[in-house]
A and B are shown apart, each in its own frame.
Chain A
Amino acid sequence: MSIEVKNIEKQFGQFKALDNVSLSFPTGELVALLGPSGCGKTTLLRIIAGLENPDGGVVHFHGEDATHVHVRQRQVGFVFQHYALFRHMTVFDNVAFGLTVRPRGKRPGKKEIAERVHELLRLVQLDWLADRYPDQLSGGQRQRIALARALAVEPKVLLLDEPFWCTRCQSAQRSAPLVASSSRRAAYHFNFCYSRPGRGDGSCRPDRGVEQRQN
């Protein structure tokens, strides 16, 4: 799904986070947003996801205006900077969450959900952790679970907020190619919000980098 943002403005009190930002991301492209911290990368991602309302400008998904579409309906997968895994649920329940909250008519059966969850956990190579709680995982493991959870609902767009902020995590290196492969495989649209260019092992080079500057 292609994304287009036009003339986005966002202000927090006196601070102008986004000033007339226009970008377009064609379908299937892996894009990284780069820039110094505080330049509005996360804000832009949150506006695309629908977690924040822009003060001005529009967001188009596949040519249609999605500016006022509710987060729930946007079908955007979002991996938060600190993953935001539900601490009271096991890894399995975390990944299954998006499927279990569907309205009754569209909700897959228990068996189907279990199959889907295990498939995703195998994809991120953490099938053996299904019964653990997030507190019992390492940073890198949490990150991959967060990715699996976001993929479970088959989003049209996947937004990763600083996916590799956890610089000392060895598994950042492991999940980078994983992100790339799962994205290409499923033809997802990825947006990285990636503030440390040069890290990673090269197998997850984004197709394109967009640099944001502080104004």
Chain B
Amino acid sequence: MAGNVSTLGRRTTRINHAVTEPLWVQLSLITVALVFLALFLVVPLVAVFKEAFSKGAEVYFASLVEPDAWHAIKLTLLAAAISVPLNVIFGVSAAWAITKFRFRGKQALITLIDLPFAVSPVVAGLIYVLLFGAQGWLGPWLADNDLKIIFAVPGIVLATIFVTFPFVARELIPLMEEQGTSYEEASLTLGASGWQTFWRVTIPSIKWGLLYGIILCNARAMGEFGAVSVVSGHIRGQTNTLPLHIEILYNEYQFAASFAAASILAGLALVTLVVKSLLEWQHTRDREKAARAAAQQS
């Protein structure tokens, strides 16, 4: 997944006729892609909603307003609301440092940023338990100061930040590398301060990559299971996020309720994707509008 992230955002709409395939090749490729899509994406999604409503709409809504479920939804949104902005700040500064400056250990930093993609989320969770847990290195100190991290909300937020760490930075690094430093230099020679350069030149030129990174980061933050599962302790109504809540219900054979909760999570993901598509659509439309206006003028 990590490798694909950066290429998804940029699509070329131009068709090059020199490399067009024969019709039957086109058709069979499209069929394979569609069948694959239907089998692995559409059918499961439909199944989730079908199962959720299997005992009627009443059971569906009842299982959502139930206090534990409601708490899980709120906790999931809270974890995303904290970790996404933090990772945006981190991602932008890391990408900025890596692409605009020359320094020792740059490669090491890039590798470190990729670490959360390489490490299993369960291991990530265990790292935090090892650090902050009751038997962990900082455990006694935390207990003395009455601070609770593991089996509490801070632990969940920490684990979420860890797994969503690379999304923004990974999205921005290739983009900013390609753009180089000449825009910033031009801005400085024109008398702009570093801060003005950042807000008026750097941010607008990475805007789309940044938004895309935020959306991916958000999607993952809401859906994270492994790492959060290890640090949360599964305390109902306290440290259960939506993915954990779904698992518990499922294990208790409450299928309708479990799928209802799953449908909420799927719904959040769908909303995220729709927002992303809308943004992309608007982006291309703006560009086309500008191009048309220019064509009319000349």
Q: Which residue numbers of A lie inside 8 Å of B, CB to CB? A: 49, 51, 71-72, 74, 76-78, 80, 82, 84-89, 97-98, 101-102, 128, 131-133, 136, 149-150, 152-153
Contacts and interface: CB of A to CB of B under 8 A. Distances in A.
A54 B188 CA distance: 18
B54 interface: no
Given A87-B205, A88-B204, A72 B294 contact: no
6 smallest CB-CB distances across A and B, nearest first, come from A98-B190, A101-B192, A84-B182, A84-B186, A88-B204, A78-B189
Contact of A132 (B182, B192, B294): B294
15 contacts: A51-B188, A71-B189, A74-B189, A78-B185, A84-B183, A89-B204, A97-B192, A101-B190, A101-B191, A102-B191, A131-B294, A132-B294, A133-B294, A136-B291, A149-B186
Interface of B: 182-183, 185-193, 196, 200-201, 204-205, 207, 290-291, 293-294, 297
A153 B191 contact: yes
B297 A101 contact: no
Contacts of A89: 204
Contacts of A76: 189
Contacts of A136: 290-291, 294
B190 A149 contact: yes
Contacts of A149: 186, 190
Contacts of B188: 51, 71-72
A86 B183 contact: yes
Contacts of B200: 97, 101
Nearest to B184: A84
Given A74-B189, A133-B290, A150-B189, 16 more contacts: A51-B185, A71-B188, A72-B191, A72-B193, A77-B189, A78-B189, A84-B186, A85-B186, A86-B183, A89-B204, A101-B190, A101-B196, A102-B191, A131-B293, A132-B297, A149-B186
A151 to B, nearest CB: 11
Contacts of A71: 185, 188-189
A71 B187 CA distance: 10
Contacts of B191: 72, 98, 101-102, 153
Contacts of A132: 290, 294, 297
Contacts of A72: 188, 191-193
A128 to B, nearest CB: 7
Contacts of B185: 51, 71, 78, 80, 84
